[in-house]
Structure 1
Amino acid sequence: MLTHVVRPEEILNSPAVSAGLLRVESRIRRLSTSSRLPLINSAAGRITGAGGKRLRPALTLATALALDGSLSNRVVTAAACVELIHAGSLVHDDLMDKAAERRGVRTLNAELGEGRALVVGDFILARAGLAALSSASKPVAETLASVVVELAEGQFQEAAELFDPERTPEDALRSITGKTASLFRASCLVAHRNGSSMAVYGERFGILFQILDDLLDLASTADRLGKPVGNDLRQGVYTFPLLLALRHDCADLRPFLGRRLSEDEITLLLARLRRSSMVDDTLEYCRGLAAGALSSLPAIADPQIAAALYGLPGAYIDWAESLLVR
């Protein structure tokens, strides 16, 4: 029986952040449906309105409240742009993975075809950049342009290392920092002119976020996650938890690397990994990341925002741990 654990986004969404997110949602809808072409508006609006944790824009708002105590229109626009970049990158991820479904909804590439889905993803990313430049500030636009470069590089590195038996945990961390953690870092940077004081927090939480997501794919179940597990193994993505296990006590699994696996082999590998020290080792690493993130936080006057930011990394670890198979 699963123990109820508060979802991480509930920890972050204090009343002030929740109120700010309503403004962000309105800005996202307006920006993602601003094309002169109705089909682009329909497709982009469906992607940005399909749900999700909204952790990245919530982190932007929490950072602004922590450092400034208020939410300006500039900050709301910056938070919306952060989420648009995330949404555009997901469209491109689905294209690369040839995914047919995300969050229970057919992907754009499945619905519209690869060519039109690619253009919609490009539109969402470009719209974020234009809004940042025209309605936030030049430094915000520069930060977001830089993070799009990092996202592309991190995703490219991962794609270049598919089915690579020589991939190391350090390689996986470099890819994670680019494809995931960079946007969490940027979420803090765009919130305030002194957002760099929280950039380390954002990046370390982003690494923790991705590692735990990768761990759930190896050590949870389809029933608990609401989606199939073992997908990274199917696609030849050798993630940090797997590579850590290979380095520690699962060296016997190395002959399975470097090739496509059958479903029986994936089932065997998952069972073996769950009997190993992989879960404990990965959680220990993530707790170290969480401690590093918390140590980088500046003094925060607002007790609700301080509690949210201090509580987020641990809450995410607790939530992920509640979904793991022991």
Structure 2
Amino acid sequence: MSTVKSSKSSNPGQSTMPTMPSLARALPKVEDEIRALATSSSLPVVNTFSGRITAAGGKRLRSVLVLSGSLAVSGTISAKAVTAAACVELLHAGSLVHDDLMDNAEERRGVRTVNADWGPGPAVLVGAVPVNTSMLARANQAALEHISPFAASRLARTVTDLVEGQVLEVMDLYDVRRTPDNALRSVELKTGALFEVGCVLAAHCADADEPTTTAMARFGALFGLMFQILDDLLDLASTAQRLGKPVGNDIRQGVYTFPLLRVLTENQRTLLAERGRELSDAEVTGLLAELRQTSMVADTLAHCTSLASQAVRALPDLPEPEALGILRELPGAYLDWAASQIA
């Protein structure tokens, strides 16, 4: 059976890409639909930036979840499933614009961000989570018109989750008293919700029953939680050379993540409390070096291994074994890739 390939590629999208012919045929259709939705504004300037953001690509892991999930349930990938995959990716792209705005990032996936070229105001209007415009609105509209009112409702609920997750994160910025549980709650809402809705829509587009849909939702939520924890770990324990982007950004921006909060010493907490907003590059580098000497990496990987196992156990038995195999292997494949990027 050809399912998921795991490698040490610097691009996790390549290391977790399924090779089933039906999925390989469907993924370009998703790209076409993403492009069409992202550039459907009557304002050319909005199309320029939305199209540039979505054309930058990425892992497209959420598309794979929707397509393989729907295939595993029904044995086919319907036009509705393709639209659902595009809608979830559009929500993800819109949330990234908002993240770039919050982080004052100048580049995303090798492409200059909207706020870098336009400034913060237009970035909010093109795709930021707090406003129901552009990419987010297009995704909801497409779901309502081409899938179902239920699909549109679930996507809208996910936007609410994204907003609430971001609010929780902002409220805790530079707060050394932030707890690991608070960090996890933000992750569940910001990342877990997107993975979860992808799996829910996969089941919905395949006319799955309620127990199957519930089980798929659980799988997506756990996978999304593991995915983001690993991403947070890499920001602390990988290198700019391996990831192709700077590391230590979360610390610089005052986002104290789950892997960090579990191992901080009193001295490190004091440093962040006193210097958090003014940390020099040398202080960040020194803190990262100290963290890498702790149990942070081993403990976080163990925690994520448990989440991956829970996610796989949550999956129900589904009619299409090859597509089910992809779903079962994706969490472990991503975990392997992330572990390979640790310095």
**TM surpasses 0.5:** yes
Aligned-partner Cα distance in 1 for 2:311–2:303 = 13
The structure 2 residue matched to 1:254, chosen from 245, 266, 269, is 269
The structure 1 residue matched to 2:202, chosen from 191, 198, 220, is 191
| One-letter amino acid matched to 1:215 | L
Pairing of 1:236-275 with structure 2 (within 5 A):
236-246=254-264, 250-258=265-273, 259-260=276-277, 261-275=279-293
- Equivalence for 1:5: 8
Aligned-partner Cα distance in 1 for 2:271–2:329 = 39
Aligned-partner Cα distance in 1 for 2:43–2:156 = 24
Larger CA deviation: 43-52 vs 296-305: 296-305
The structure 1 residue matched to 2:173, chosen from 153, 162, 186, is 162
| One-letter amino acid matched to 1:196 | T
Q: Report if aligned partners of 2:169, 2:255 keep a CA contact under 8 Å in 1.
A: yes
Q: Report if aligned partners of 2:7, 2:15 keep a CA contact under 8 Å in 1.
A: no
Determine if the alignment matches structure 1 residue 278 to structure 2 residue 293.
Answer: no
Aligned-partner Cα distance in 1 for 2:266–2:259 = 13
| One-letter amino acid matched to 1:312 | L
- 1:10 positional shift: 4.3
Aligned-partner Cα distance in 1 for 2:244–2:13 = 17
The 3-state SS of whatever aligns with 1:53 is: coil
Aligned-partner Cα distance in 1 for 2:338–2:16 = 14
| One-letter amino acid matched to 1:134 | E
The 3-state SS of whatever aligns with 2:202 is: coil
Q: Report if aligned partners of 1:9, 1:55 keep a CA contact under 8 Å in 2.
A: no
Percent of residue pairs identical: 53
- 1:73 positional shift: 1.1
Q: Report if aligned partners of 1:188, 1:196 keep a CA contact under 8 Å in 2.
A: no
Determine if the alignment matches structure 1 residue 24 to structure 2 residue 27.
Answer: no
Q: Report if aligned partners of 1:8, 1:315 keep a CA contact under 8 Å in 2.
A: no
Pairing of 1:87-236 with structure 2 (within 5 A):
87-121=93-127, 122-193=133-204, 194=208, 195-236=213-254
- 1:226 positional shift: 0.7
The 3-state SS of whatever aligns with 2:203 is: coil
Q: Report if aligned partners of 2:73, 2:320 keep a CA contact under 8 Å in 1.
A: no
- 1:148 positional shift: 0.2
Aligned-partner Cα distance in 1 for 2:13–2:109 = 18
Structure 1 unaligned regions, length at least 5: none
| One-letter amino acid matched to 1:14 | T
Cα distance change on mapping 1:10 and 1:274 into 2, 3 Å: closer
The structure 1 residue matched to 2:19, chosen from 10, 14, 21, is 14
- Cα distance per residue 1:271-317 (max 9 Å; x no partner): 11000000000000001101100110111333321221111111111
Query: What is the CA RMSD across the aligned residues, in angstroms?
Result: 1.5
- Equivalence for 2:3: none
| One-letter amino acid matched to 2:167 | F
The structure 1 residue matched to 2:333, chosen from 315, 318, 322, is 315
| One-letter amino acid matched to 1:62 | S
- Equivalence for 1:84: 90
Normalising by structure 2, we get a TM-score of 0.90
Structure 2 unaligned regions, length at least 5: 1-5, 128-132
- 1:105 positional shift: 1.1
Q: Report if aligned partners of 1:184, 1:205 keep a CA contact under 8 Å in 2.
A: yes
The 3-state SS of whatever aligns with 2:262 is: helix
Aligned-partner Cα distance in 2 for 1:133–1:72 = 16
Normalising by structure 1, we get a TM-score of 0.95
- Cα distance per residue 1:215-245 (max 9 Å; x no partner): 0010011111111110011001100000111
Aligned length: 320
